[in-house]
Chains A and B, each alone.
Chain A
Amino acid sequence: MGMMKLFRIRGGVHPQGRKSLSAGEAIRDLPLPELLHIPLQQHIGQAAEAVVKKGELVKKGQLIAIAQGRISSPIHAPTSGEIVALGRYVAPHPSALPGRTITLRPDGLDAWAELPAPLDPFTCEPAAIAKRVAECGVVGMGGATFPSAVKLDLGQRYTLHTLIINGAECEPYLTCDDRLMREQAADVIDGVRIISRALGVKRAVIAVEGNKPEAIDALTHAAQGLDDVIIQKVPARYPMGSEKHLTQTLLGKETPARGLTAEIGAIVHNVATALAVRDAVRLGRPLISRIVTVSGEAMHNPGNFRVAIGTPIQHLIDFVGGFKVDPERLLLGGPMMGQPLADLRAPIVKGTNGVLALAGLHAQTSGQQGPCIRCASCVDACPCGLVPLEMAGAIRKENMDMATKSGLMDCIGCGSCAYVCPSNIPLVQYFNYAKGKITQTQRAEHKQKETKRLAEARSERMERIAQAKREAMAKRKAEQARQKAEAVTHEDKVSA
């Protein structure tokens, strides 16, 4: 148990935990569905490219899509079976638009492919760990899905002193990390030490919110005798799990605006990521399944399940027995930052930590929206020190410049402001809208520049072609004139 001095962060809220719905349920394996729909974009960065063909038979853990570029991640077959389609399928996204997807029909044998040989993380080169993690398609499993290997290489560019393992799980309802820490504490700690080794740091802190005493006990027990791993209880306060705020709580230092925690010497990884890193290094296993919390008042039998990537959400909901009542809110992720689930056919992906069906009192998002009364509750709640009411006001008037100046790009979208707003103003939706709009404008600017470049290149080419034609014509004329002149002199000679 750690004895670190903790620092207070500003703002934050205390939503009802509601974790008891699923926290008591041990992790169970979810049976495979008839079809797995595996999207090529499950991570931040470039989408992967499929390397399998329709009709091909694949083994469990076989590479089916390769990473593109530096910030990308490969994808592996979650089970053995036949590739039945390479096409588009509804994505786990609030728009429910289709994205490029590989569809696999499991053969029921669940036969493993030949996996890369286990690595001994404490004798191999630290760079070999990052390479293995990249090959195994491990991404940040707290929800951000940033390719983990890229973060393991940061030790070369920054002076790092602390690895922070995020076990805060501050979102209400979610208990997948809690269960993981309770049930696989020793493996998690092994994974943490492997990451420490890859980064070259001497100290790892596993931060767990105080509302998970069993997880803290299990980790403390597993870390006995280790002097490089500290288990630290942190106050249960949303958004403790935001990496910048967790770092500030533990180290007392604020991450520079729009910067990385590495700039102040810390790297943050999620507990589930630590376990995935361990499986990749010790067993050579790629990331092909994850733990998902299924919960909410409208859900029969809430629980935690180990789900193969690509499993349709409908399959998971059917397995727990469906809905007790019609859910008023269906969510992917937690109720604070989760995205509305628009289509139940969408698959579970590497970043899906929860599927929630809320109903009744707890489902109320925003009642009747009222005018802003400038009470500044949102200012008090904002953990980033922003003024949400001003930003929203600017966005309402489409003044994106002013919103950006007020710090829109420093907003982490945690939803604390909307949670406390007595007028039920959908502040986060304003910010999401503005961020999307700004990206769209940048895209349009880029396209306009490209159009100009293309048009100029074309007119220059046309000019060059015309010039060449003129020159050729002049040459031909000169040639004709010369021949004519020659002929004339010849005639002259003859007549003479």
Chain B
Amino acid sequence: MTNAVVSLALLGLSLGIMLGFAAKYLKVEAGALVQEIIAMMPGSQCGQCGFAGCNGAAEALVNSQAPITLCPPGGRVLAQALADKLGISTDLSGMEDQVLKVAFVNENLCIGCTKCFKRCPTDALVGANRQIHVVIKDACTGCGKCVEVCPTESLSLRNVPVTLETWHWPKPQPLLLAS
């Protein structure tokens, strides 16, 4: 009887200690996946996804509260990467139609207030006090933060035009079999 009590008590104690250590040293970082997703996001905190920033969006993605196609600056490339990361198989062909936009300054209206470039997350707007501001199209992600703050409505978002450098052949029309 004593033997049984002692051995069970020892067993319970040692297992308890092991569990305690395991909880302390083998603890899984709760946000490890979130951190990885944050590293994949553009990090411009533009808010086009509807979340406060890229961190919020990453958390929502991990908790399946947002679609992987949520990030316009990341576009199709990021959506594909997220799908691979999160093991989601998805049809991205619908994302194709999304036309990229960039900010455009109407130089007749710009008063050089400097509000817009202070808000730009990627430094895509350049200007100085009482000088007309300019958009560096290659750096602009089309988040529209500048449009919100512009006091004279000189800023707007415009579609990125197709040029000789970016044009490519369209996909051939698939065969339509008579039914």
Q: Which residues of A contact B (CB under 8 A)?
A: 41, 91, 93-95, 97-99, 369-371, 395-396, 398, 425-426, 429-430, 432-433, 435-437, 439-441, 443-445, 447-448, 450-452, 454-459
14 A-B residue pairings within 8 Å (CB atoms): A95-B162, A97-B167, A98-B164, A396-B174, A445-B77, A450-B138, A451-B43, A451-B44, A452-B43, A454-B44, A455-B45, A457-B123, A458-B122, A459-B43
Binds A, one of B13-21, B68-76, B107-115: B68-76
Once bound together, how far apart are the Cα atoms of A436 and B168, in whole Å? 5
CB pair B169 A433 closer than 8 Å = yes
Within 8 Å by CB of B122, from A371, A436, A455, lies: A455
Interface residues of B in 152-179 (CB under 8 A from A): 162-164, 166-172, 174-175, 177
CB pair A426 B43 closer than 8 Å = no
Majority SS of interface residues in chain B?
A: loop
List of B residues within 8 angstroms of A458 by Cβ: 121-123
CB pair A447 B123 closer than 8 Å = no
List of B residues within 8 angstroms of A439 by Cβ: 168
A299 CB to nearest chain B CB (Å): 26
B53 CB to nearest chain A CB (Å): 10
> Which of A91, A437, A451 has the most chain B CB atoms inside 10 A of its CB?
A451
Once bound together, how far apart are the Cα atoms of A459 and B53, in whole Å? 13
Given contacts A94-B169, A443-B166, 20 further A-B contacts (CB under 8 A): A91-B164, A93-B164, A93-B167, A95-B162, A429-B172, A430-B171, A432-B168, A433-B171, A433-B172, A436-B168, A445-B77, A448-B42, A448-B75, A451-B141, A452-B42, A454-B139, A455-B121, A457-B123, A458-B121, A459-B45
Given the known inter-chain contacts A433-B170, A441-B77, please indicate yes or no for A451 contacting B175, CB distance below 8 A: no
**Is B78 on the interface with A (CB-CB < 8 A)?**
yes
- Which residue on A lies nearest to B162, using beta carbons? A97
**Is B93 on the interface with A (CB-CB < 8 A)?**
yes
List of A residues within 8 angstroms of B138 by Cβ: 447, 450
CB pair A433 B43 closer than 8 Å = no
Given the known inter-chain contacts A426-B172, A456-B43, please indicate yes or no for A41 contacting B164, CB distance below 8 A: yes
CB pair B172 A97 closer than 8 Å = no
List of A residues within 8 angstroms of B78 by Cβ: 448
Within 8 Å by CB of B43, from A93, A429, A435, A455, lies: A455
CB pair B77 A451 closer than 8 Å = no
Within 8 Å by CB of A430, from B121, B122, B167, B172, lies: B172
Within 8 Å by CB of A371, from B73, B139, B168, B177, lies: B177
Once bound together, how far apart are the Cα atoms of A10 and B76, in whole Å? 39
Within 8 Å by CB of B73, from A94, A436, A445, A451, lies: A451
Within 8 Å by CB of A436, from B77, B139, B169, lies: B169
List of A residues within 8 angstroms of B45 by Cβ: 455, 459
The 8 lowest CB-CB distance pairs between A and B, nearest first, are A436-B168, A432-B169, A454-B122, A455-B44, A455-B43, A95-B167, A451-B42, A426-B172
Q: Which residues of B contact A (CB under 8 A)?
A: 41-45, 73-78, 93, 121-124, 138-139, 141, 162-164, 166-172, 174-175, 177
Once bound together, how far apart are the Cα atoms of A457 and B43, in whole Å? 11
CB pair A451 B139 closer than 8 Å = yes
B78 CB to nearest chain A CB (Å): 6
CB pair B163 A97 closer than 8 Å = yes
List of A residues within 8 angstroms of B93 by Cβ: 398
A116 CB to nearest chain B CB (Å): 31
CB pair B175 A371 closer than 8 Å = yes
Once bound together, how far apart are the Cα atoms of A426 and B44, in whole Å? 42
CB pair A450 B167 closer than 8 Å = no
B74 CB to nearest chain A CB (Å): 6
Once bound together, how far apart are the Cα atoms of A80 and B163, in whole Å? 31
Once bound together, how far apart are the Cα atoms of A432 and B169, in whole Å? 6
B100 CB to nearest chain A CB (Å): 9
CB pair B42 A370 closer than 8 Å = no
List of B residues within 8 angstroms of A432 by Cβ: 168-169
- Which residue on B lies nearest to A426, using beta carbons? B172
- Which residue on B lies nearest to A339, using beta carbons? B169
Within 8 Å by CB of A97, from B123, B164, B171, lies: B164
Within 8 Å by CB of A435, from B162, B168, B177, lies: B168
List of A residues within 8 angstroms of B123 by Cβ: 454, 457-458
> Which of B78, B121, B122, B138 has the most chain A CB atoms inside 10 A of its CB?
B122
Given the known inter-chain contacts A41-B164, A433-B168, please indicate yes or no for A448 contacting B174, CB distance below 8 A: no
A14 CB to nearest chain B CB (Å): 25
List of B residues within 8 angstroms of A94 by Cβ: 169
List of A residues within 8 angstroms of B171 by Cβ: 395, 430, 433
- Which residue on B lies nearest to A439, using beta carbons? B168
List of B residues within 8 angstroms of A426 by Cβ: 172
- Which residue on B lies nearest to A432, using beta carbons? B169
> Which of B44, B123, B169, B170 has the most chain A CB atoms inside 10 A of its CB?
B169
B135 CB to nearest chain A CB (Å): 13
List of B residues within 8 angstroms of A437 by Cβ: 168
Within 8 Å by CB of A448, from B74, B121, B124, B162, lies: B74
Given the known inter-chain contacts A95-B164, A456-B43, A458-B122, please indicate yes or no for A444 contacting B76, CB distance below 8 A: yes
